[in-house]
Structure 1
Amino acid sequence: MSKKEKNFSRRDFLKTSGIAAGALVGGGIIGGLIASNTGTQNALPGTSPATDGEAGSAGGARGLMFFKNDAEFQILAQATERIFPEDDLGPGAIGLGVPYYIDQQLAGAYGENSKEYMQGPFLEGESTQGYQSRLRRNEMFRQGLQIMQQEAQKRFNANFVDLEGGQMDEILTAFQEDEIQMKGVSALFFFRILRSATLEGAYSDPIYGGNRNMEGWRMKGFPGHQSAYINQIESEEFQEIEPQSLGMKH
């Protein structure tokens, strides 16, 4: 598969998965994923400051907070990269640090559902309803990633991270179409949570672990968190503004 064909298939999967990155307001917090978990931006595994957009392995340089098994983390990294792929517009999920963002959130209040009512009775909800599972989000993610690996072995006799892009898409699409059995949650609901977390990691403020170097914002021309626009507000011309993070001194 050529790089051009690979990028097209990955972007096509993003478009057909029900929500495209371009539909989001850059920098918006769209699912309550961000709680009190913040951290610093370090170099991604398999990359260096000179190769930020490189989509490769995602483990090693930055410490993990939730995942203790690097194999599971690599599955997460490749799955998010399929949902938000690198292309000629900029880096994908791995280059933006999205896997680390999700890892960080799963280790905290979001992953533990600590701010939500999690007592029974648990009834099967409709697809249009919100969170209905007895599982905590970090339990849901761990099960989903394990099943991705199992599906890769069953369908292709290979590890998920070693699959071709189209093969990964086949498995992710099976989750999206609710064709896979999961315990305590539907595959469709898990896919929605994974997709939302991926997009939030790409566009949230970098202090939360993703949107590395504010590249997600730069791709959308979003200025981030400016202290004021007094120097630009009177201008009749379009203003290109260098984005600022909450972690930057104004």
Structure 2
Amino acid sequence: MAERPNEQAPDQSRRSFLKYTGTAIGGAVVGGVIGSAVSGGFKKSAGEPSPSPSSSAAPQAQGPSDFNQAPMFFNQQQLQIAEAAAERIFPKDDKYPGATDLAVAFYIDHQLASPWGVNARTYRMGPFVKGEATQGDYQSIERHELITMGLNTLEETSKTKHSKSFTELAPEEQDAILTSMEKGEINVVNGITGKTFFNLFRVLVMEGVYSDPLYGGNKNMAGWKMRKYPGNQMSYTNVVDKDAFVAMEPRSLHDHFVH
């Protein structure tokens, strides 16, 4: 009679599989506390010190990235020219930050990358004729084209007059070119004067200084802090009945989304 195999003998291959996959304890996580127990990680003598984790193996903690401080439309040269021009329109002083510190160029960049930059909700049918001074501008080109062409004109004018990039000019030289643009003495393209560019660019600069930081400018709400503006508070019920001015720490829309 042939000898029957021992039914109590362990199935080594199956046990090994369960051991290293964690299935034996109903999980698929191996390497933590459970995984160590399954693989014999607790087999050590009493009083044996646990090895301290290597500092080189631990991932380095990094601060949160500020994705608002990234260009979405401009190339690097355009961003730098926009930053330099914005700083001359809203320069820093001994007490308050200027357009550069407030990240105004990023606000402008983000606006041009948005539907606003392509005049998405603007009537775009011709004829495109020059209107009266009281009628405002009605251009055949889109806003992002006007701004980028205006920045290119700043650069070309700078190189023609000073053989240097606009970003390399002294502040008074930058002011002189911007003043010529503001007066309409420099054309941008197809009869569109620098005044048209300057007027729109200046509006964008001021928006970048004072808009909610959610949109890319007014970094750290410093523009609001200059004016003691409270920003987007959830409620004013605790101060509405006070006669004296109440200074409040400003809040961004971003604060409400996160918290």
TM-score of the two chains, using structure 1 as the length reference: 0.73
| Structure 2 residue 142 is matched with structure 1 residue 136 | yes
| Structure 2 residue 66 is matched with structure 1 residue 42 | yes
Letter in 2 for 1:230: T
| Structure 2 residue 254 is matched with structure 1 residue 247 | yes
The C-alpha deviation readout for 1:134-170, integer Å capped at 9, x for no partner, is 0100000111011101110111111110000000000
C-alpha distance in 2 between matches for 1:41 and 1:117? 38
Higher-RCO chain (CA-CA 8 Å, sequence separation at least 6): 1
| Structure 2 residue 197 is matched with structure 1 residue 190 | yes
2:243 aligns with: 236
How far off its partner does 1:43 sit? 8.1
| Residues 89 and 219, structure 1, Cα contact 8 Å, conserved in 2 | no
| Residues 41 and 212, structure 1, Cα contact 8 Å, conserved in 2 | no
Measured at CA, do residues 167 and 41 of structure 1 come closer, stay the same or move farther in structure 2, by a change above 3 Å?
farther
| SS of residue matched to 2:254 | coil
2:112 aligns with: 106
Q: Tell me the C-alpha RMSD between the 2 structures.
A: 1.8
| Structure 2 residue 214 is matched with structure 1 residue 207 | yes
| Residues 185 and 193, structure 2, Cα contact 8 Å, conserved in 1 | no
Query: Matches of residues 59-208 of structure 1 in structure 2 within 5 Å?
Result: 62-67=69-74, 69-184=75-190, 185-208=192-215
Letter in 2 for 1:77: E
Query: Which deviates further from its counterpart, 193-202 or 81-90?
Result: 81-90
The C-alpha deviation readout for 1:186-234, integer Å capped at 9, x for no partner, is 2111100000000001000111111111100000010111122111122
Task: Give unmatched runs, 5+ long, in structure 2.
Answer: 1-63
**Greater C-alpha radius of gyration:** 2
C-alpha distance in 1 between matches for 2:200 and 2:149? 13
Task: Give unmatched runs, 5+ long, in structure 1.
Answer: 1-39, 45-61
Query: Quick one: percent identity of the two aligned structures?
Result: 40
C-alpha distance in 1 between matches for 2:103 and 2:210? 11
Aligned length: 193
| Residues 214 and 243, structure 1, Cα contact 8 Å, conserved in 2 | yes
| Runs of 4+ displaced beyond 6 Å | none
